[in-house]
Amino acid sequence: MKEFKPFKEGKVREIYDIDDALVMVATDRISAFDVILKNKVVGKGKVLTQMSRFWFDLTKDILPNHMKSVDTKDMPEFFQQPQFDGNSMLCRKLNMIPIECIVRGYITGSGWESYKKDGTVCGIRLPEGLKECDKLPEPIYTPSTKAEIGDHDENISYEQSISVLEKAYPGHGEEYAAKIRDCTIALYRKCADYALSKGIIIADTKFEFGLDENGNVVLGDEMLTPDSSRFWPLEGYEAGHSQPSFDKQFVRDWLKANPDSNYDLPQEIIDKTIAKYKEAYKLLTGKDL
């Protein structure tokens, strides 16, 4: 059996090159505040992969995506081992666009902190009088640069995103910047409406896009998982304070309250986190994992 080694490792994902395609494996690692924590959250990788699969299928009418299969039988024999079952995705190769495409439908997190200071989020002026976790009049697009592991992503304006992409793809900066912005908003609108019908508010999320061999924009990476999004329960939602969530908020809140933790979580927080991930998956898909 031919062994494969990841050619790229992110905070959570490992990517393997199998010549004509990639295998993207979602591990059980967890990160917060751009730091990989010491703990594993068992089962989390499977939730991430299967949730991305669900959304990729739901949105292929808006934009093609990189998913080919999540069945390890379609992958080389090396990936037909138990540790890859359910958490691995066979993907098309793309030239990834160097922008993280963040969309915010509600004001929370760093956006709320910024709004309290000067009424703006990433340079976008918002109406006066918004409360924490209010729904925004329209979703806003706030791109950022992609940082290396250990560094922080940097928020940039839409105009700056054009400049970044013009450097990367001379003559196409404005075209690609507009395309990924418009796709980000369209994907968010469709998925947020769907999630709302299942009892989940998607407060914000991020997408990543790449180019195929013909220069077409294709949706890549993960999609609308609790790692890349803020999911809130619709039941009990009330603006004016922070919301309970289906994502890493247990982890973020605990780390903020325990600054000397050295990024080592207690088992209780790990258990609560995976339970929330699985609950979100069941609400959205109607299936257990």
pLDDT tens digits along 161-209: 999 999 999 999 999 999 999 999 999 999 999 999 999 999 999 999 9
Residue 251 CB coordination number (10 Å): 22
C-alpha of 268 from chain center: 24
C-alpha of 215 from chain center: 23
pLDDT digits (tens, 9 = 90+) for 73-124: 999 999 999 999 999 999 999 999 999 999 999 999 999 999 999 999 999 9
Query: Strands 95-96 and 135-141, how do they pair?
Result: unpaired
Give the pLDDT score at 151. 59
What is the percent of the chain with per-residue pLDDT over 70, rounded to a whole number?
98
Give the pLDDT score at 154. 85
Closest CA relative to residue 199, chosen from 285, 113, 73 = 285
**What residue spans define the domains of the chain?**
1-93, 95-233
Q: Which fold has domain 1-93?
A: Phosphorylase Kinase; domain 1 (3.30.200)
Confidence grade of residue 152 (pLDDT, cut at 50, 70, 90): low
Give the pLDDT score at 7. 95
Give the pLDDT score at 257. 95
Check if 1-93 and 95-233 are the same fold: no
- The superfamily (CATH) of domain 95-233 is ATP-grasp fold, B domain (3.30.470.20)
Closest CA relative to residue 224, chosen from 189, 259, 272 = 189
